Chains A and B, each alone.
Chain A
Amino acid sequence: MEMPVPNPAVLARKSRLVERLQKVLPPDAVIFDEAETRAYECDALTAYKCPPMLVVLPSTTQEVSDVLRICHQEGVPVVPRGSGTSLAGGALPTADCVILGVARMNEVLETDYANRVIRVQSGRTNLSVSGAVEEEGFFYAPDPSSQLACAIAGNIAMNSGGAHCLKYGVTTNNLLGVTMVMMDGTIVEIGGAHLDSGGLDLLGLICGSEGQLGVVTEATLRILRKPEGARPVLIGFDDNEVAGACVSDIIKAGVLPVAIEFMDRLCIETTDKFAKAGYPDCNALLIVEVEGSEAEIDAQLDTITEIARRHDPVELRQSKSPEESAKIWLGRKSAFGAIGQINDYMCLDGTIPVSSLPFVLRRIGEMSEEFGLEVGNVFHAGDGNMHPLILFDANKPGDLELCEAFGAEILKLCVEAGGCLTGEHGVGIEKRDLMTVQYTPEDLEAQMAVKDVFDPAWLLNPAKVFPLAVSQARRDPAPAAA
């Protein structure tokens, strides 16, 4: 993956920058030693690494503002970072950038049960937001699988989703307000504990903007009372297509499950082997979870079971207890880990219309043979967000490139089927060059115009989201005439 050539003029200002930053931050919050900056050289897209010039770890909004004002004055690119779990390379540094990490900003600022909101500093981890309100029986709904590690900051930047978003929505549907620092150091408040932020929906615009419009330092989030209970049913089919039809019928029947998860044969067998989930021997497996009181859960599971029966399932297991529920979820939850045990893999994230599921799965199977690389499919079937896992061998020369080429073809297929390149992981550097598959030059121009307004000098995370050639003129307004 190509990254812009570091700007020598910026590199030359390193010591002056360190000096200026040390005046506004505590000594241990400015990291410039090369041995230490290396810890920030990548995010969870580990195939790409580059240590940054500097790392700063501010503790307050004011410190963030001071840092950005200085970087703005010095013309230094800034890459915001939460916990570094991005799978798209969103937090990947360039050699001439300052990594602005918000990990030290992890306080809960206010919990308000009567108004059902919590206000936190953005470096707080996703799971610990729910943890802060758990005792009162509340939770924060978006639950990415990385929730133990990932920060609210990254969740907002990527508009992250989770297993339960079929019912509760993704980050943008649960975000009420932010405190954000603009690249020039201006602090803005958008939204708050009230609904709808007023004026143009800037909150909606910032959510999912991948750290390119401002640095979010605080967030007001909607919290919800936990349901009385939840239980899944496991349904096995001999055929992907039939599983897809079953999903569609469940949705049409008016039951709204919290989650409908799908796994194909490769994932079923692998997780069964490594997690001992005791899954049935079949080609497609659905896990459908519903919520409510015991009686409500039974009623919904009965309806789902009845629908599933019409599709000749090879297996139907309705959970009756927390133990049985855990067992059903075990394989799904350990799917990525299990596959990781057998192979290196690349995880894709395209979304397709639920109706194209059978077609897309069939095509992926055919392409898998063409490329000679195996693919496992595990995904959120209720909303069509696929996670094809392409297996490759990182030690085999050329395999990563082959895998990336295959991945690109799958994502193009998603777009052709009426879907999109990424459902929850974001574009980052990974899908940057595919943006032209989904969007016309005019579509991209409209998006870049937004960045022009928030960050006219294109200093915030500039090398992401847009194909480098497309953003070139904005990132590097070359003064010299050719």
Chain B
Amino acid sequence: MLMPTNEAELAEMIRAATGPLSVRGGNTRGLAGPGAPLGVGAISGIGLYEPGALTLVARAGTPLADIEAALAAENQGLPFEPMDHRGLLGTEGTPTIGGVIAANVSGPRRIAVGAARDFLLGVRYVDGAGTVIKNGGRVMKNVTGYDLVKLMAGSHGTLGVMTEVALKVLPRAETAATVVLGGLGAGAGVAAMSAALGTPYEVSAAAYDPATGEAMLRIEGFAASVAYRAERLADVLSDHGKAELRDGAQSQALWRDIRDVAAFRGTDGDVWRISVKPGDAPAFLDAVAPDAALLDWGGGLIWARMPEGADLRRRAGAFAGHATLVRGTGATRATLGAFHPQPSPLAAIAAGLRQRFDPRGILNPGLMG
């Protein structure tokens, strides 16, 4: 495996490459395609961390765990709560910050504070021609030139290989509690979440588990404030059902499991991740009839477990949103495609961008359509 230890070496390797490169951080997210493996893991280390400015700059191969530990020491964290794919996919390895950003991995809090891309302040990357490029910076507000920072987030290594990322971080909440309403069908579950998210009580996560019929609503902040808002929320939602409170370690474990889709761990079948308008989720579930499902983001994110090889997109018919095959055999990926096909004008723009950023088509070819 090609293992550059710094940006200059990486640029050299990309320039020297004669065929496809399969770019990877810790390779825990099951995305590595064909080509010569190119690992970014040795381009590692936190370069700058200023808690008072809420900014952290790290090289792309830095283990996520190192970043989380450094932040935890200052009582801060990555607000977008990236999931750990290892349990779900049965992969091993060390998740890196570069991988998190490249796949725009965002967890339950995405609905309240934004996705990984919303916390990315700047990037350095090497494009497909081996040129080092930077965009953005390390300050919180920056509209200088085009926002290639957003473009790189979620580009899955198809436009360039990131070497450094600058992130906005936030203080960790002092405490969290979860208001749980039980006995709800999918329609009622989504309705309860919508009602909760439409209150001023700053719900930081909203999930619904069809298996238990429970809608779960998380409140975070200073202890007194959490207690107050949880009570108000339970009150406001009394029409939707009787509320129960889970706090402390119980609440924490619950959201970690939702974030990592723990319920699908060790199961058979394909796993799909679908983004829809929350209100469309119940009908979507009816249409695709999954073996199991989990709703996050107030219903806007559907995790669906399907029989191996089943074409979820066909079962769904035309819908506003997109469905990604997160777990599936090579054959299923080959037939159905992991990424949602895009309408032709957008696909043409995406192809044009790839052509310009990677003229030889060597960076993760085949990924992202």
Q: Which of A57-65, A273-281, A420-428 makes up part of the contact surface? A: A420-428
Interface residues of B in 168-222 (CB under 8 A from A): 170-174, 191, 194, 197-200, 222
Q: Which of B243-251, B255-263, B345-353 makes up part of the contact surface? A: B345-353
Per the CB 8 Å criterion, the residue count for chain B at the interface is 84
Contact of A351 among B133, B141, B149, B173 (CB under 8 A): B141
Interface residues of A in 148-191 (CB under 8 A from B): 158-159, 161, 165, 169-170, 172-173, 182, 186, 188-190
| A204-B153, A251-B52 as given contacts; A419 in contact with B137, CB under 8 Å | yes
Residue pair B342, A199 in contact (C-beta under 8 Å): yes
| A199-B350, A205-B146, A450-B148 as given contacts; A116 in contact with B197, CB under 8 Å | yes
Question: Does A429 have its Cβ within 8 Å of any Cβ on chain B?
Answer: no
Min CB gap B363→A, angstroms: 13
Q: Which of A138, A226, A354 has the most CB of B within 10 A?
A: A354
Interface residues of B in 94-137 (CB under 8 A from A): 104, 106, 110-111, 114-115, 117-118, 127, 131-135, 137
Q: Which of B12-20, B264-272, B276-284, B307-315 makes up part of the contact surface? A: B276-284
Residue pair B146, A254 in contact (C-beta under 8 Å): no
Question: Does A446 have its Cβ within 8 Å of any Cβ on chain B?
Answer: yes
Question: Does A473 have its Cβ within 8 Å of any Cβ on chain B?
Answer: no
| A194-B300, A200-B368, A442-B133 as given contacts; A384 in contact with B53, CB under 8 Å | yes
Contact of B146 among A194, A199, A209, A226 (CB under 8 A): A209
Interface residues of A in 203-258 (CB under 8 A from B): 203-205, 207-209, 225-228, 248-249, 251-256
Residue pair A188, B345 in contact (C-beta under 8 Å): yes
Residue of B nearest to A300 (CB): B222
Interface string of B353-366 (1 = CB under 8 A from A): 10111000000000
Residue pair B111, A200 in contact (C-beta under 8 Å): no
Interface residues of A in 288-329 (CB under 8 A from B): 292-293, 295-296, 299-300
Residue pair A202, B346 in contact (C-beta under 8 Å): yes
Query: How far does the alpha carbon of A438 sit from the alpha carbon of B137 in the complex, in Å?
Result: 9
Residue pair A205, B171 in contact (C-beta under 8 Å): no
Contact of A228 among B138, B153, B200 (CB under 8 A): B200
Interface string of A425-467 (1 = CB under 8 A from B): 1110001000100111011101101111110000000000100
Interface string of A95-130 (1 = CB under 8 A from B): 000000000000000001111110000000000000
Contacts of A117 in B (CB 8 A): 277
Query: How far does the alpha carbon of A228 sit from the alpha carbon of B368 in the complex, in Å?
Result: 43
Question: Does B143 have its Cβ within 8 Å of any Cβ on chain A?
Answer: yes
Query: How far does the alpha carbon of A207 sit from the alpha carbon of B279 in the complex, in Å?
Result: 26
Query: How far does the alpha carbon of A195 sit from the alpha carbon of B108 in the complex, in Å?
Result: 12
Question: Does B297 have its Cβ within 8 Å of any Cβ on chain A?
Answer: yes
Residue of A nearest to B134 (CB): A443
Question: Does B225 have its Cβ within 8 Å of any Cβ on chain A?
Answer: yes
Residue pair A444, B143 in contact (C-beta under 8 Å): no
Contact of B52 among A202, A252, A352, A450 (CB under 8 A): A252
Question: Does B36 have its Cβ within 8 Å of any Cβ on chain A?
Answer: no
Question: Does B6 have its Cβ within 8 Å of any Cβ on chain A?
Answer: no
A interface residues, Cβ below 8 angstroms from B: 112-117, 137-138, 158-159, 161, 165, 169-170, 172-173, 182, 186, 188-190, 192-196, 198-205, 207-209, 225-228, 248-249, 251-256, 292-293, 295-296, 299-300, 351-355, 380, 383-385, 418-427, 431, 435, 438-440, 442-444, 446-447, 449-454, 465
Which 9 A-B pairs rank lowest in CB-CB distance, beginning with the nearest? A204-B150, A248-B52, A198-B322, A254-B171, A423-B141, A453-B352, A383-B140, A193-B277, A449-B356
